[in-house]
Chain A
Amino acid sequence: MTALASRSGRSTPGDTRRRLVVIGNGMAGARAVEEILARGGAVQHRITMFGDEPYGNYNRIMLSHVLSGEEDAGGIFLNSLDWYRENDITLHAGVRVDKIDRFAKLVFSDDGRATPYDVLIIATGSRSFMPPVEGLYTPGGRLLPGVFAFRTIDDTRGMVSYAQQDHRRRAVVIGGGLLGLEAARGLQSHGVDVDVVHSGRHLMNAQMGPDGGAVLRRSVEALGIRVHTSSRTTAILGGDRVRGVQLRDAPDIECDMVVVAAGIRPNVEVAVTSGLPVERAILVDDHMRVPDEDEIYAVGECVQHRGEVYGLVAPLWEQAAVLADHVTGANPKATYLGSRTATKLKVAGVDVASMGLQAPERDTDEHVVFSEPSRGVFKSIVIRDSKIVGATLLGDSRKVAYLTQAFDRGLPLPEERVSLLFDLGGPDEEAGVAELDGDAQVCNCNGVSKQAIADTVRGGCTTLSGVMDATRAGKGCGSCKLLVRQVVEWAADGAVEEDPAAAYYVPGVPLDKAALMAAIREQGLRSVSAVFAALAPGGAEDSKSKMGLASLLKMMWAGEYIDERDARFVNDRVHANIQRDGTFSVVPQMKGGVTSPEQLRRIADVADKYNIPMVKLTGGQRIDLLGVPKEDLPKVWADLDMPSGYAYGKSFRTVKTCVGQEFCRFGTGDSTKLGIEIESRFQGIESPAKLKLAVSGCPRNCAESLVKDVGVVAVDGGRWEIYVGGAAGAHIRKGDLLATVDDPETVKLLAGRFMQYYRERANWLERTYSFVPRVGIEHLRAVIVDDAEGLGAQLDAAMQESVDAYVDPWAERNDPFTPGQFRTSLPLEVLPQVPVR
Chain B
Amino acid sequence: MSAELFNDRQAGGLHILGPVDQIPVGEGRAYGVAGEQVAVFRLRDGSLRAVSAVCPHKGGPIADGTIDRTVVMCPLHQHAFELETGCSTTGAGPLRSYPVFADESQNIIVRLP
* A binding-site residues for B, Cβ under 8 Å: 508, 529, 540-544, 546-547, 564-567, 569-571, 573, 578, 580-582, 818-820, 823-827, 830-832
Inter-subunit contact B26/A566 (CB<8 Å)? yes
10 extra interchain contacts, Cβ-Cβ under 8 A, other than A543-B73, A825-B28?
A: A543-B66, A543-B71, A566-B67, A570-B64, A582-B61, A582-B76, A823-B29, A826-B30, A826-B37, A830-B54
Of A547, A819, A827, which contacts B32 at CB under 8 A? A827
Q: Closest 5 interchain pairs by CB?
A: A566-B26, A825-B61, A541-B68, A818-B24, A825-B63
C-alpha spacing A508/B67, complex, angstroms? 13
Inter-subunit contact A818/B27 (CB<8 Å)? yes
A565 in contact with B27 given A825-B39, A825-B53, A827-B32 (CB within 8 Å): yes
Inter-subunit contact B23/A566 (CB<8 Å)? no
C-alpha spacing A566/B25, complex, angstroms? 7
C-alpha spacing A581/B21, complex, angstroms? 28
A567: min CB distance to chain B, Å = 7
C-alpha spacing A546/B26, complex, angstroms? 11
A543 in contact with B72 given A582-B59, A818-B27, A824-B30 (CB within 8 Å): yes
A547 in contact with B66 given A830-B59, A831-B59 (CB within 8 Å): yes
Q: Please, which residue of chain B has its CB at the minimum distance from the CB of A819?
A: B22
Cβ–Cβ < 8 Å partners of B67 in chain A: 543, 566
Inter-subunit contact A541/B44 (CB<8 Å)? yes
Inter-subunit contact B54/A827 (CB<8 Å)? yes
Inter-subunit contact A823/B30 (CB<8 Å)? yes
Interface string of B67-105 (1 = CB under 8 A from A): 111011101100010000000000000000000000000
C-alpha spacing A819/B108, complex, angstroms? 15
Q: Please, which residue of chain B has its CB at the minimum distance from the CB of A547?
A: B66
B110 close to chain A: CB less than 8 A:
no
Cβ–Cβ < 8 Å partners of A818 in chain B: 24, 27
Inter-subunit contact B73/A819 (CB<8 Å)? no
C-alpha spacing A397/B93, complex, angstroms? 40
Cβ–Cβ < 8 Å partners of A543 in chain B: 65-68, 71-73, 80
Cβ–Cβ < 8 Å partners of A546 in chain B: 66, 68
Inter-subunit contact B58/A832 (CB<8 Å)? yes
Cβ–Cβ < 8 Å partners of A823 in chain B: 29-30
Inter-subunit contact A540/B68 (CB<8 Å)? yes
Cβ–Cβ < 8 Å partners of A830 in chain B: 37, 54, 59
C-alpha spacing A33/B54, complex, angstroms? 30
C-alpha spacing A653/B107, complex, angstroms? 42
A820 in contact with B23 given A541-B44, A543-B73, A830-B54 (CB within 8 Å): yes
Cβ–Cβ < 8 Å partners of B61 in chain A: 570, 578, 582, 824-826
List residues 5-48 of chain B with CB under 8 A from any CB of chain A: 21-30, 32, 37, 39, 44
Q: Please, which residue of chain A has its CB at the minimum distance from the CB of B32?
A: A827
Q: Which of B23, B25, B53, B68 has the most CB of A within 10 A?
A: B68
Cβ–Cβ < 8 Å partners of B76 in chain A: 578, 580, 582
Q: Please, which residue of chain A has its CB at the minimum distance from the CB of B76?
A: A580
Inter-subunit contact A542/B68 (CB<8 Å)? yes
A832 in contact with B68 given A569-B75, A578-B76, A827-B32 (CB within 8 Å): no
Inter-subunit contact B68/A578 (CB<8 Å)? no
B62 close to chain A: CB less than 8 A:
yes
Q: Which of A508, A581, A832 has the most CB of B within 10 A?
A: A581
Cβ–Cβ < 8 Å partners of B62 in chain A: 825-826
A13: min CB distance to chain B, Å = 28
A825 in contact with B29 given A582-B61, A819-B23, A831-B59 (CB within 8 Å): yes
Inter-subunit contact A820/B66 (CB<8 Å)? no
Cβ–Cβ < 8 Å partners of A571 in chain B: 75
A825 in contact with B22 given A543-B73, A569-B75, A570-B75 (CB within 8 Å): no
Q: Please, which residue of chain B has its CB at the minimum distance from the CB of A86?
A: B58
C-alpha spacing A831/B58, complex, angstroms? 7
B21: min CB distance to chain A, Å = 7
Interchain residue pairs with CB less than 8 A apart (29): A529-B44, A540-B69, A541-B44, A543-B65, A543-B66, A543-B73, A546-B66, A565-B24, A565-B27, A570-B61, A570-B75, A578-B61, A578-B75, A818-B24, A818-B27, A820-B24, A824-B30, A824-B61, A825-B30, A825-B53, A825-B62, A825-B63, A825-B64, A826-B37, A826-B63, A827-B53, A827-B54, A831-B59, A832-B59
C-alpha spacing A393/B72, complex, angstroms? 49
A525: min CB distance to chain B, Å = 15
C-alpha spacing A825/B54, complex, angstroms? 9
B87: min CB distance to chain A, Å = 15
Q: Please, which residue of chain A has its CB at the minimum distance from the CB of B27?
A: A566
List residues 49-63 of chain B with CB under 8 A from any CB of chain A: 53-54, 58-63
Inter-subunit contact A819/B24 (CB<8 Å)? yes
C-alpha spacing A495/B62, complex, angstroms? 37
Q: Please, which residue of chain A has its CB at the minimum distance from the CB of B42?
A: A566
Q: Please, which residue of chain B has its CB at the minimum distance from the CB of A544?
A: B73
Q: Which of A544, A578, A582 has the most CB of B within 10 A?
A: A582
A70: min CB distance to chain B, Å = 24
Cβ–Cβ < 8 Å partners of A819 in chain B: 21-24
Cβ–Cβ < 8 Å partners of B53 in chain A: 825-827
B55: min CB distance to chain A, Å = 9
A765: min CB distance to chain B, Å = 12
Inter-subunit contact B22/A820 (CB<8 Å)? yes
Cβ–Cβ < 8 Å partners of B69 in chain A: 540-541
Cβ–Cβ < 8 Å partners of A824 in chain B: 30, 61
C-alpha spacing A831/B55, complex, angstroms? 10
Cβ–Cβ < 8 Å partners of A566 in chain B: 24-27, 44, 66-67
C-alpha spacing A832/B71, complex, angstroms? 25
Cβ–Cβ < 8 Å partners of B24 in chain A: 565-566, 818-820
Q: Please, which residue of chain A has its CB at the minimum distance from the CB of B21?
A: A819
C-alpha spacing A569/B24, complex, angstroms? 14
Q: Please, which residue of chain B has its CB at the minimum distance from the CB of A579?
A: B76
Q: Please, which residue of chain B has its CB at the minimum distance from the CB of A578?
A: B75
Inter-subunit contact A820/B73 (CB<8 Å)? no
Cβ–Cβ < 8 Å partners of B26 in chain A: 529, 564-567
Cβ–Cβ < 8 Å partners of B44 in chain A: 529, 541, 566
A519: min CB distance to chain B, Å = 20
C-alpha spacing A826/B30, complex, angstroms? 7
Q: Which of A570, A573, A823 has the most CB of B within 10 A?
A: A570
C-alpha spacing A282/B62, complex, angstroms? 51
Q: Please, which residue of chain A has its CB at the minimum distance from the CB of B45?
A: A541
B90: min CB distance to chain A, Å = 10
Q: Please, which residue of chain B has its CB at the minimum distance from the CB of A533?
A: B44
Inter-subunit contact B66/A582 (CB<8 Å)? no
B74: min CB distance to chain A, Å = 10
Q: Please, which residue of chain A has its CB at the minimum distance from the CB of B28?
A: A825
C-alpha spacing A565/B44, complex, angstroms? 12
Cβ–Cβ < 8 Å partners of A827 in chain B: 32, 37, 53-54
